[in-house]
Chain A
Amino acid sequence: TQLLEQSPQFLSIQEGENLTVYCNSSSVFSSLQWYRQEPGEGPVLLVTVVTGGEVKKLKRLTFQFGDARKDSSLHITAAQTGDTGLYLCAARRGSQGNLIFGKGTKLSVKP
């Protein structure tokens, strides 16, 4: 059973389009992080959300943490080819818990 379910698994869009990626669970998390990873490289931290209902913006990226701290979404406005990569959500259940990763969403933005 996958603790963190990410959807969609794959997404291929044209430059300029908007998209939303989801990270869902039945468990409550103390914090949730989003990473972007390019092939052969390590994941790069994009954002951490800790408060239920929290919304954070990073340029064209908007991150939301669900009110119940069980789910999160990442919305990208006017996607660019440089947004291509694997988007991973990761979360901790308690203060001492390990980081649990979703399977990732592989995004391809075509020019």
Chain B
Amino acid sequence: DTEVTQTPKHLVMGMTNKKSLKCEQHMGHRAMYWYKQKAKKPPELMFVYSYEKLSINESVPSRFSPECPNSSLLNLHLHALQPEDSALYLCASSLRLAGAHEQYFGPGTRLTVT
């Protein structure tokens, strides 16, 4: 089983809303990632969690707040977003952060900020 699940599939939110994106994997992976992907561009790394601790924050604005409640779950809390934040948000996981471990991606959440 190499499945990473993400909910919701689609999300439309206003600039004053608060919403959360959820990601789950049951492969025993201890590294989990959030990426942002704009149309016709490759994924851009936002955050990395390793053993439930934030390991990498790629200078992401504070209106994006990640959370890793346990080894299987990863959340991305959204507040006061801008229209330019509209994108496909991808979650990924790998066995560990170090080493040549493959990353497996979820199907993504298509976010539209109005």
Q: Are B42 and A104 in contact (CB under 8 A)?
A: yes
Q: Are A95 and B42 in contact (CB under 8 A)?
A: no
Nearest residue (CB) in A for B9 is A40
Give the interface size class of chain B: 20 to 34
Known: A95-B99, A96-B97, A102-B42. A44 touches B105 (CB 8 A): yes
B window 38-71: CB within 8 A of A: 40-43, 45, 48, 56
A77 to B2, CA, bound (A): 27
Kindly specify which of B11-19, B76-84, B106-114 makes contact with the partner chain: B106-114
Known: A96-B97, A99-B45, A103-B42. A48 touches B102 (CB 8 A): yes
Nearest residue (CB) in B for A94 is B98
Min Cβ gap B57→A in Å is 12
Give the interface size class of chain A: 20 to 34
Contacts of A99 in B (CB 8 A): 45, 103
Contacts of B106 in A (CB 8 A): 42
Q: Are A45 and B107 in contact (CB under 8 A)?
A: no
Known: A42-B107, A44-B105, A95-B99. A103 touches B90 (CB 8 A): no
A36 to B108, CA, bound (A): 14
Q: Are B107 and A33 in contact (CB under 8 A)?
A: no
Q: Are A43 and B100 in contact (CB under 8 A)?
A: no
Q: Are A95 and B100 in contact (CB under 8 A)?
A: yes
A window 49-74: CB within 8 A of B: 50
